[in-house]
Amino acid sequence: MSLIETPPPLHRTFSQVLEDLGVSDEPTLSMNEVVEAFGDRGLGALILVFSLMALFPWPPGGKAIFAIPIILMSVELAFQRNEVWMPRWALKASLSRPAYAGLISTPFAAPAWLRRWVLTRKIKVGAGPNAPQYIFAPRVRRAVRRRPRGLNFIRLLRAVESLTRPRLTLFTGPISEVIIGILCVLLAVIMAMPVPLGDMLPGLALIFFALGVMQKDGVAVLVGLFFSAVTGGYLLLIWKTVVEIGEHLLGWISRLFG
């Protein structure tokens, strides 16, 4: 029996809970286990988890997979539910625990193909067999290497946690959570839309809203509102661009067949 007692979920930080989820005798990690681990912080925590995962590069349509649970939990947040409700099939979803542990603890680095190319290839300048060849500068080669003690997801999350704390509670009260929940639904829908770079801005807004709900940090909520406004402005710009292109195209077609 271990002599170290695990602190209850309410006294553990978000990063500690994530790390503890990667340590277990069970080979797989289920969504039900994740929900139970966060307790009454589950809504904000799971919105944060899915928003972070959605920022990774995925095939077309992959963002929608993460947008659906975000929408469900945002609706629950807007209706002031204290417990996370998810469909039974979603709670049974699981992934390999070693893969999960590796995802949160592996240091960030350039993609493997880029590292191999920078570290092994030479750049040929000019034409002909005698053209000089150069290798990348040492600082570039160091930048793409995967350093064992480099920045990883958990270290980054701890740094963010150190900046968040309960403050400006006016923006984290019950009425504010209703508004945040509605905004998160809209942001999740936008994130799933096939808009160029349209997932990054709403994803950042969702992350800060989730941090604000979890940490009762009004400053994080204000940052989320800022990114929400930027998202709206970006969508408006895209819409105007599409409308102008459509008008020019219709004008060109009418002149062509007029």
> What are the pLDDT digits (tens) for 239-253?
888 888 888 888 787
Residues 6+ apart with CB under 8 A from 181: 74, 75, 76, 77, 78, 79
| pLDDT, greater one: 203 or 42 | 203
> What are the pLDDT digits (tens) for 114-166?
777 777 766 666 666 676 776 777 777 776 666 656 667 778 778 877 888 88
- Winning range, highest mean pLDDT, from 5-9, 11-15, 69-73, 127-131: 69-73
Q: What pLDDT does 184 receive?
A: 93
Q: For residues 169 and 246, what is the distance between their CA atoms, to the nearest angstrom? A: 46
Q: What does the DSSP 8-state code read for residue 217? A: B
Specify whether the CB–CB gap between 225 and 180 falls below 8 A. no
